[in-house]
Amino acid sequence: MFSREQIEQVRAFNRDYTRRLGLLSRGLLDSPWSLTQVRVLYEIAHRPDVTAAELADALALDRGYLSRILRGFAAKRLLARSASSADARRQHLRLTPLGQRVLAPLERRAQQQVRTLLAPLDSARRETLLAAMSSIRLAFDPQTTASELVLRGHRPGDMGWVVERHGALYAAEYGWNEAFEALVAGITAEFISKLDPARERCWIAEAHGRRLGCVFLVAGEGGAARLRLLLVEPEARGLGLGRRLVRECVGFARAAGYRRLVLWTHANLAAARHLYQEAGFELTSSEPRHSFGKDVVSETWELGLRGSRSATRRRRDAPER
């Protein structure tokens, strides 16, 4: 169930947003046209050969209501129809030259309205606003595809996100307390303060400007590297992102000349353990303990990097037999 406060928060946002965009005015953008009419004009202009049925589905409009709007446009000579060559029963819609002239100033006013809305904001607040808008869209339509996922290096602001998302996700999914968040904060702080870019790296996965995952590779002891802080947001699971992040770590560690890649995880993290097994890691030790407010079984996994540059060099330098 949703709380009354949550419902009121959404309604308050809607009231504020519609007021700022002038959606309560008699006509949109100082025009004689309603919001729905302008949106229909826009969609016809930007959807070549669209049909009335396709418009109704795309805009979730009652077909009778849309039919009346289209008849009104046709009466004002803003709209033309042509029969489909594939099916004469289907009619394609397009704006007439007059319809295009009606829409053009509305497009310019809409663009200027957004410029006016963003103008008072500095660059940081503007980026925050745009990221929040992206988050809202993705929350209702989270169909990100694997091809849209981009891996990049870290930049300012990413470490705070890594700490916050680990803390929030592991609390929600496993009931871990703030001690885990503190641990992640310490790992990220050490990563930034001691970073060796030639041998250490952080990957941030994102789509549509929204962070969706991360993983770190840091130097360990005895010629080993450590894979740390693998995370994939729930909305990005099932796209192969976790596998891709692990693969990036293994490839980088091998190219950097590490002999082994080691990681620390817990027995209840089934999805992560599956990724490690799939990548060739082997469980080397486990220990029951009480951590993060829970009884857990901590595990160490290890992968030999026999294809690393250093291993290749050792084989080349070895005497022939």
| % of the chain beyond a pLDDT of 90 | 72
The larger pLDDT score, comparing residue 321 to residue 111, is at 111
In the chain, domain spans: 4-120, 146-317
- pTM, full prediction: 0.63
Rounded to whole angstroms, the Cα distance separating 51 from 35 reads 20
146-317 shares the fold of 4-120: no
What pLDDT was estimated at residue 309? 46
Q: Please, which residues bridge with residue 79 across strands?
A: 95
Q: Which fold has domain 146-317?
A: Aminopeptidase (3.40.630)
- Which pLDDT value is given to residue 187? 97
β-pairing, 201-207 with 282-291?
A: unpaired
| Angstrom distances, CA of residue 168 to CA of 90, 137, 231, 295 | 51, 21, 12, 19
Angle between helices 241-255 and 270-278 (to 10 degrees): 50
Residue scoring higher pLDDT (309 or 261): 261
Closest CA to 266 of 244, 224, 295: 295
**Which of 51-60, 123-132, 134-143 ranks highest by mean pLDDT?**
51-60
Q: Report the amino acid identity of residue 197.
A: P
pLDDT at 302: 97
The pLDDT value recorded for residue 104 is 95
Most confident of 24-28, 82-86, 112-116: 112-116
For residues 36-49, give the mean pLDDT.
93
Give me the chain's average pLDDT, please. 90
Architecture per CATH, 4-120: Orthogonal Bundle (1.10)
